[in-house]
Amino acid sequence: MKMKLLFTLATSWLLMITGGCQNGPSVKKESTAPATDEAKKYNLDKIKLPEGFSISVYAEVPDARSLCWGAKGTLFVGNNREDNVYAVVDENKDGKADKVYVVAKDLTMPNGVAFKDGSLYVSALDKIYRYDNIEDNLSSPPAGVLVTDKYPNKSHHGWKFIAFGPDGKLYVPVGAPCNVCEEKDSIFSTITSINADGTNREIYAKGIRNSVGFTWHPDTKEMWFTDNGRDLMGDDKPFCELNYAPKKGMHFGFPYVHQGDILDPEFGKGKNTKNYTAPALKVGPHVAPLGLRFYTGHMFPTAYKNRIFICEHGSWNRSKKAGYKVGMAILEGNKVVDYKPFVEGFLQQGEKVFGRPVDCIVAADGSLLISDDYANVIYRVSYKQ
């Protein structure tokens, strides 16, 4: 009886250390979220990440879109559908938000949020507002101060990502008011810059159909931005783009050239692709890359330093869906040498969609937060060796 018991215990111990396989240790797999109630609710158990990484829900926020940090650690969140702007606070710094405040309401497509000198800036279609001393008044926020109302009021591609650049100026994109067209007003299909008080508007870059994300290299301070390619040219063209814009005045091709090497069938006649700046990376056809950030934290392995995380919102116009993930661009200097998935699984077999990443941002602890306007959450991706 004792021998049988000893044999049973030994067998159980062997199965435990070999992962239940008597042919040796189990093969390491990509990380997935544990099967908690939260994971089941948001299908986190289906998300795939590189080994050592895990994903959880940081906060539940309706239509979570663009993200920015306040100086005191408040996460501000814009949206398109709810017409509100939110402030998210993790009071005990445990990696999960404790409170979500509405800090602005009744705005038109308040997608973009940016922070400077204690004030929150919000883009709302043709207007930009400023909310002063906001972090000290989250429960009773101040009224917005109009910074400018001089942007076009076209709603087609009218939602705007905004951010302050290294030069202290506020950068504001103006998307094409169409699928593909050539507008007489030169303000369309650009990224502009203005002073923090709304004055001195300039066009920084041209030929951009619809950018919903840009950022600056942490070392060189040079701009990188995403752009969404035109529709109705087929499933597999053109590709959406990651672009490198180190100086003012560059033209990236729209509406004449797409993905750097395809002439538009109507507006490309007589044009030469070599006269326009080609993308640094062809991200994928109709995958809708939106927010992007360089990794500047210290939680992830050192190899991740200055890699670009790109949120692929996902296609709506392909016969087979594509995107619905967070990709990772690896640079050597100012060249993209590789692009691979970082967070995937929001699109499952049978084209079942569980999430649509919009924007990402590095937290103070080095984790990566990702907004999702389909699941109405902000995820937190962390790493533990």
Burial 163-198, CB ≥16 within 10 A → b, else e: bbbeeebbbbbbbbbbebbeeeeeebbbbbbbebeb
Among candidate residues 129, 151, 134, 143, the one with its CA nearest the CA of residue 196: 129
Length of the chain measured in residues: 385
Q: What are all long-range contacts of 152-157, with beta carbons under 8 Å and residues at least 24 apart? A: 152/126, 152/177, 152/185, 152/187, 152/188, 153/125, 153/126, 154/188, 155/109, 155/125, 157/209, 157/210
Give residue for tokens 């640094």. Answer: 280
Q: What is the pLDDT of residue 349?
A: 87
Residue 16's H or E segment, with its range, is helix 2-17
Q: Where does residue 267 rank: exposed (0-12), middle (13-18), buried (19+ CB within 10 A)? A: middle
Q: According to the model, what pLDDT value does residue 324 have? A: 98
What amino acid occupies position 213? Answer: G
Residues of the chain with pLDDT under 50: 1-29
pLDDT value, residue 82: 85
3-state class percentages of the chain: helix first, strand second, coil last, to nearest 5: 10, 35, 55
Q: Rg (Cα) of the chain, in Å, rounded?
A: 23
**Domains in the chain: boundaries:** 1-30, 31-383
pLDDT digits (tens, 9 = 90+) for 180-225: 999 999 999 999 999 999 999 999 999 999 999 999 999 999 999 9
The tokens 């998210």 sit on which residue?
88
Residue 337: half-sphere exposure toward Cβ, Cα within 13 Å = 6
CA angle 247, 290, 368 (to 5 degrees): 100
- 8 Å CB contact between 86 and 47: no
pLDDT at position 350, please? 85
Nearest to 213 by CA among 74, 329, 131: 329
On the CB side of 121, CA atoms within 13 Å amount to 23
Q: What are phi and psi of 4, to 5 degrees?
A: -65, -40
Q: What is the pTM of this model?
A: 0.90
31-383: CATH class: mainly beta
CA distance 376 to 357: 10
